[in-house]
Structure 1
Amino acid sequence: MDMRVAVVGAGGVGGYFGGRLAAAGGDVMLVARGRHLEAIRANGLSIRGAAGDVTVPPGAVVPSVDAVGRADVVLVAVKLWDTEDVARQLRPLAESGAAVVSLQNGVETREALRRHLPEESLLGGVCYVSAVIEQPGVVVHRGGFQKLVFGEYDGRRSERVVELAAQWAGAGPEAEVSTDITRMIWEKFVFLVGLSAATTAVRQPIGVVRGDAGSRALLLDVMRETVAVGRARGVALDPSFADERLAFCDTLPPDMAASMHHDLTHGNRLELPWLSGAVARLGAELGVPTPRNSTVADILSPYVQGAPATAG
C-alpha cells in the first residue's frame, strides 16, 4: 500500500527525493515557501540531472504543514535552524500516527525533534545526494549517487521502515533499511563535516581540495576528529573510517562541493554551528581535541548568518 508522504522543506534534498517519488506516481505533498513555492505553483517543480529530468505538477505543493491534511510519513528536510519550529508544527500529524523522519544534516536532530514529538513517532534517516535549488522551482542533481536509508532507533526491522523504503522502488533513488541507523547517521556526518569544512573553507570543489597536500590534510584531519568525537559518544565507528572516507572522496566528481559551499558563495545562512561547530562543541564536552574543526568554525563564523556587511 502506498504511503502518503509529506516532505517538509522541498529544497535540494527534500525537493529531489520527494519530487522523484511524486513523479513516479507516489502520493506526495511537498511543503515549500517563498519564491520557490510561487515558482512551483506556477510551473511545477523541475528536477534536472544525470538520472533524467522530470517535472512534478503544481498540485503536489502546499505552503504549510497545516495544509498537508493527512500523512503516514513526514520527511523533514529543512535547514537545521528551523528544526524546533517545524517539530512544533508537526505535533498534530505525529499524534495522529505519522512517522517523522529527519533527512537533515547533523547528529542532534533526534534530540531536537523528541523535545516536541512522541518518541515512538521518530525514525532515523540518512540521505546521500548532491542536489541544490538552482533557481526557484528548479532542483539540480549533481553527481550520480542518490540513496536513502531508514531505520528504527532500536534496530528493529519494523513493517513501517520496510514499507517506507519500498516507496522509492522504481522512482530512481535507492532506498534501504538499516538496523543500526545511529551509526549510519554518524558515518554520513563524518563525510559531510569533512566535505563541508574543506570545500567551504578553501572555497573550492573537492577536486581542488583533494589535489593539494595542505587542503587534503585538512579534509582528513577534520574527519578524523569527527570520528573521535563519535566514538567518545559510544557510536561504533571504525577507527580508520576517516581514511576510508578520504579514499571515497577520491572517487567523487571533481566539481562536487558541499551544500554549505553553495550557501557561502550565494550569501546564504550556513549550517556551520551544527557541523564543524557541533564537532568542536561536543569535543569540548567530551574532552576530545578538535583543533581543525574549531579553526574551520572560527574562519567561517562571520558568514554564519549570510554574507557579512562590509565594515565601514
Structure 2
Amino acid sequence: MRIAVLGAGGVGGYFGARLAAAGADVTFVARGRHLDALQRQGLLVRSPLGDVRTPPARAVAQVGELGPTDLVLLAVKLWDTEEAAAQLAPLADRGTAVLSLQNGVHKDSVLRRHLPEQNILGGACFIAAHIEEPGVVTHTGTLQKMVFGPYHPDRRPLAEELLAACRAAGIEAEISDDIAQVIWQKFVFLVGLSATTTAVRRPIGTIRDNPRTRTLLRDIMAETVAVARASGIALDETFPDDRLAFIDTLPPDMTSSMHHDLERGNRLELPWLSGGVADLAAELGLAAPRNQTVADILAPYTLGTPKD
C-alpha cells in the first residue's frame, strides 16, 4: 500500500514513521525547515516505545509531487483542512482514499465538500506527540492508537489492509463499524484535555488532582456529550465519568497539542474545540457556559501570542 502523510507533525510524523519503519511505502508532505530536515536526514521519532528514523528524501513539498497513492493520512491543523481537501481532489478522482487523523468533529464535513464520499475514511487517533525541532518528533507516554472505518463499504478492503500495516508496525489499531461515534467519543476527551491544560497552562496531573479544576474538566466534557446526543450520536449521559476515569490512568505530565501551541506562541485550534462546542451548542439551542468561557479566555491567543 502506497501511503502519503499530509502534515508531518506530531500525529502524522509519528504514525507515518512507524509505518515506514515496518516496511510500508510512505511519503511525507511537509514544508519549511521540517521538510528540509526530512529530505536531508529523514524523520526521527523519539518514543518510550523505541526510536525510529525514516530514510532521507521520502518527503515532498506539494501534493502535486506525489506519485500513485492508495491512501492519504491527513494530519494538518484544522484551519488548513479546506485547502488540503482541495489539493487532494485530483488524487481522489484517481481513486486515492483519504483518512483524516485530525482533531474535532468538523473535519469530514469539510472533506465532503471536495471529495467523493466513497473516498473518505473516518478516523480518530489517540497519542501525545509534537515536533521537538525540525526533523524530530517526540512521543510522550505510551498511548498510540488509531481507530478508523470506511463510510462506504467498498473501502472496507483498504481499511483491512491499513489495519494489517498498523499491526505490523506495532501501532495499536482497530476498525470501527460506527466511526462517527468513535470520533465524537474522542472529541469529548480531547475538548476536556485541551481546554483545561491550555487555560490552566499545566499538564493533566495538576488538573485532575485539584477538586475545582477536576470539576471544570468534567463539566466541559459533559457539555460536549450533551451536544453529541443532540446531534444524534449515541453517547450515554454517564460518558463524562467514563472519560474522567480514563484520564485518571494517564501520565500526570501529559498535556495537549493546543497547550504546546500556546506555549510556543502558535495559532490554536480553539475554534474547532471548545469554541466549536460552544458554536454547535448555540445552533442546537443548548447552553455550554464552561466551553464558552474557555473559548473567551483563550480568544486573544487564537492566532498566536498577541503582540503588546
Q: Retained in 2: the 8 A contact 1:207–1:254? A: yes
Residue 17 (structure 2) aligned to one of 9, 16, 19: 19
**Residue 284 of structure 1 aligns to which amino acid in structure 2?**
A
Contact 2:33 2:134 in 1 (8 A): yes
Q: Distance in 2 between matches of 1:292 and 1:154?
A: 36
1:93 alignment partner, one of 82, 85, 91? 91
- Residue identity in the other structure for 2:289: P
Matched, 1:118 2:128: no
CA distance 1:97–1:157, shift in 2 (3 Å): closer
**What is the Cα deviation at residue 154 of structure 1?**
5.6
Asked if the contact 2:118/2:154 (under 8 Å) is kept, the reply is no
Unmatched 5+ stretches in structure 2: none
User: Do the aligned partners of 2:118 and 2:151 also contact (CA within 8 Å) in 1?
Assistant: no
Deviations 1:135-154 (A, max 9, x none): 11000000111111110236
Q: Is the 8 A contact 2:41 2:57 kept in 1?
A: no
Unaligned residue ranges in structure 1 (runs of 5+): none
How far apart, in 2, do the equivalents of 1:13 and 1:158 lie?
A: 23
| Pairing partner for 2:62 from 47, 50, 64 | 64
Q: Is the 8 A contact 1:156 1:179 kept in 2?
A: no
TM-score, length of structure 2 as denominator length: 0.98
Q: What are the residue-to-residue correspondences of 1:33-112 with 2, within 5 Å?
A: 33-112=31-110
Q: Could you tell me how far 1:44 is from its partner in structure 2?
A: 1.1
Deviations 1:18-70 (A, max 9, x none): 01101111111111101111111222100001110111111211111111121
Contact 2:40 2:57 in 1 (8 A): no
Structure 2 counterpart of 1:275, which letter?
Answer: L
Could you tell me how far 1:157 is from its partner in structure 2?
Answer: 8.2
Following superposition of structure 1 onto structure 2, how do residues 1-312 of structure 1 map, counting pairs within 5 Å?
3-153=1-151, 158-310=156-308
Distance 1:252 1:33, change over 3 A: same
One-letter amino acid matched to 1:290: A
8 Å Cα contact 1:51-1:172 kept in structure 2: no
Secondary structure (helix, strand or coil) at the match of 1:128 reads strand
User: How many angstroms apart in 2 are the aligned matches of 1:93 and 1:166?
Assistant: 23
| Aligned-pair CA distance for 1:284 | 0.2
**1:221 partner SS:** helix
Cα drift, residue 282 of structure 1: 0.2
**Cα RMSD between the aligned structures?**
1.1
Shift in Å at residue 249 of structure 1?
A: 0.7
Which aligned runs of 4 or more in structure 1 are off by greater than 4 angstroms? 154-157
Which one is further off, 79-88 or 32-41?
A: 32-41
Report the CA distance between 1:155 and its aligned residue.
7.3
Determine the C-alpha separation between the residues in 1 that align with 2:33 and 2:102. Answer: 22
Deviation, 1:81, is 0.3
The change in CA–CA distance for 1:157 and 1:112 in structure 2 (over 3 A counts) is closer
C-alpha distance in 2 between matches for 1:224 and 1:206? 17
For these two proteins, the number of residue pairs brought into alignment is: 308
Identity %: 62
**1:9, distance to aligned residue in structure 2 (A):** 0.3
Counterpart CA distance in 1 for 2:103 and 2:226 is 18
Q: Deviations over 1:73-123 (max 9, x none)?
A: 011000000000000100111010011110000101111011111111111
Q: Work out whether residues 87 and 117 of structure 1, in 8 Å CA contact, stay in contact via their aligned partners in 2.
A: yes
State the shift of 1:169 in Å.
2.0
